[in-house]
Structure 1
Amino acid sequence: MKLSRREFGIATAALLLSTKTFAQPAYPSRPVTLLVPQSPGGTNDVVGRILAEQLTQLSGQPFIVENRAGANGNLGTEYAARANGDGYTLLLTVSSTQAINPVLYRKVGFDPVQDFPPVASVGTVPNVLVVHPSFPAKTMAEFVKVARESNPPIQFGSAGNGSLNHLLGAMLTQRAGIPLQHIPYRGVSQAMTDVMGGQIPMAFASLPSCIEFVRSGKLRALGVSSAKRSPALPDVEAIGEVVPGYEGELWVGLFAIKGTPAPVIQKLAELVEKATSSPDALKKLEGVGVERIQGGPDKLAAMLKADIARWTPIVKESGAIVD
């Protein structure tokens, strides 16, 4: 059958397109950047390096952690939002940056939903209500009683106004009906130092940042912010066991950049599931107090939606706002 010049051109174009499609290398074909918008040594950074190691082994391509800290995660997240959506720059971030910052800050420079297609949930990290070892309460029930009778209100330290540590205290005030006085610091490590030194009686701190101090007896843990007890501290109550409706934990999730092809996102989700299922990764995550969450894009999207709904009214009621 003889083709017309137009038909011949269409057939040739289709053949070239097909050849180009099949010739594209499998993802990933070069190094991938895991952009972490928090400082080295923090919870997200530790999780990122565990994940990057496993993804590198699985894919045969380097997954490299790049820290871009500042403005409580906003600077690195805004930088990520401007990256190419090709799967070679990814955002590994925490719930507080994605769900709290857009309400807390007047301008954040990114849209947590529109700019970052969800890939996979990685793990959850509870915060811990820690007190000085001399504090008169040894259980959450005793703490609530002491706090209700305290005059002036008990002071608690946090990583700063509007931080997750701050809002966990605000939530405790709301749910338990107890007065607490917030003392903002320039980081949770400074707050914990003052608790250990007896300058303030209590603080909320992420489990990885305080677990060694709890184990050594320098701090006493009264409760964890997760819905259930943490396997890393099984004898410490969940605050919700005593204060109904209290729940708020940090999660770590992997996001792609807007425009990333759906097949790449699916491949990444599969890689993350395998990476976080390995015995080596599970052991390392458990060692720093991170509980693995299995779930792809839909799971992570639902978690983000739920946290935005949870924290928005608490931020507004607390009055915290950052320019």
Structure 2
Amino acid sequence: MKNFQTIGKWFACIGFVLTIQTLSAQTFPDRPIVLVVPNPPGGLVDTSARLLSEPLTRVIGQPVIVDNKPGASGNTAYQYVAKAKPDGYTLLISYSGYHVGNPALMDKLPWDPIKDFSPIALLTVSTNVIAVHPSLPVNNLKEFIAYAKANPGKLNYASQGNGSVSHIGTEMFKQSTGVDMVHVPYKGSGPAIQDVLAGQVQVFISTPPSVMQHVQSGKLKGLAVTGKNRHPGMPNVPTTAEAGLPSFQLESWVALYAPAGTPAPIIATLTDAVKKSLALPEIKERADVAGVELRYLTPGATDALVKKELPYWSKAIKSAHITLD
């Protein structure tokens, strides 16, 4: 009899929890939503968050706040969201360099890229730009590669931090071309671009939001974009294939995630709101100006993308002997 009473109480508890979750999902959202960004202001990740926050506020009917939490190669933000209450009010703006790069870079990662997060949508993608300080006596990619080979170890390149896409991508560029450059890591695109503009480091392979305006103004030389097509904001900058290096391509993406365990109705509400937000014409215009490509994917398609890229980036990182040290 006691066993039946215990089982009855257990089912009653489950029913109570499910009822609370259902009521919560039905009233969601009834307060501000926070987008946690693993990078400082500036660059692709922060730009993507701010592109989304204003239209999402209008579509969903509650304030959407951007909260930058840089540090520990993205782990500060990822761990914060992984441990947050799964109620849809604390979300992660995830960066491909962290989401699929960190699992291969760290032996004891404090979060799991699949188990700890529920995908909501892919938001943006971006090619990268090979940019150099104008003091370098080069005018195209072939000249730059030749100059770097003639001056091994004398050029410094900036990255957004150890293990970032700009770090991994530049190491892959070095492997592809045989050049030798010294890595100078920064805490995000903002600090990195300042030293590149000052000539303290000479090379930066980064996303268009970090370098496009400086290439347009002539403060940096854009040698190539690492995608299949030229970038509309830099129509005179050739692709790597056009510049003579077809084997090197590099693309970054940004996605929106909730903590694992977030109720499916809340995920569905957020996914629908994101899709509507990214479809607004003025957001496309703002994205073009910022140098970001909007690319919505469903939760399932986003999950499939991550599962496909995890082994690919792991192989690339290990082949290039990239570490966080």
TM-score after normalising by structure 1: 0.85
Pick which of 192-201 and 44-53 moved more.
192-201
Determine if the alignment matches structure 1 residue 220 to structure 2 residue 221: yes
Distance 1:26 1:200 in 2: 51
Q: 1:4 corresponds to which residue?
A: none
Q: Which has the larger radius of gyration?
A: 1
Distance 2:103 2:201 in 1: 30
Q: Is the 8 A contact 1:147 1:180 kept in 2?
A: yes
Determine if the alignment matches structure 1 residue 185 to structure 2 residue 199: no
Change (3 A) 1:156 1:125: farther
Percent of pairs identical after alignment?
A: 36
Determine if the alignment matches structure 1 residue 49 to structure 2 residue 70: no
Distance 1:55 1:67 in 2: 18
1:267 aligns with one of 266, 269, 279:
269
Change (3 A) 1:272 1:131: same
Distance 1:192 1:69 in 2: 17
Q: Gapped runs of 5+ residues in structure 1? A: 1-12
Q: 1:168 corresponds to which residue?
A: 169
Q: 1:65 corresponds to which residue?
A: 66
Q: 2:122 corresponds to which residue?
A: 121
Q: 1:233 corresponds to which residue?
A: 234
Distance 1:60 1:196 in 2: 41
Change (3 A) 1:19 1:81: closer
Structure 1 position 198, deviation (Å): 4.0
Q: Deviations over 1:33-61 (max 9, x none)?
A: 21212223343222212211111101112
Root mean square deviation, CA, Å: 2.7
AA aligned opposite 1:86: D
Distance 2:65 2:190 in 1: 26
Determine if the alignment matches structure 1 residue 282 to structure 2 residue 284: yes
Q: 1:9 corresponds to which residue?
A: none
Q: 1:6 corresponds to which residue?
A: none
Distance 1:98 1:168 in 2: 15
Q: Is the 8 A contact 1:37 1:73 kept in 2?
A: yes
Distance 1:85 1:19 in 2: 15
Q: 2:95 corresponds to which residue?
A: 94
Distance 1:208 1:320 in 2: 25
**Secondary structure at the counterpart of residue 322 of structure 2:** coil
Distance 1:133 1:121 in 2: 35
Q: Deviations over 1:220-251 (max 9, x none)?
A: 00012223222221221222443233222221
Pick which of 193-202 and 272-281 moved more.
193-202
Q: Gapped runs of 5+ residues in structure 2? A: 1-11
Structure 1 position 190, deviation (Å): 5.0
AA aligned opposite 1:244: P
TM-score after normalising by structure 2: 0.84
Q: Deviations over 1:107-163 (max 9, x none)?
A: 331001111111111111222111122433322233334444x14256241224333
Determine if the alignment matches structure 1 residue 252 to structure 2 residue 249: no
Distance 2:163 2:260 in 1: 27
Q: 1:320 corresponds to which residue?
A: 322
Q: Is the 8 A contact 2:158 2:201 kept in 1?
A: no
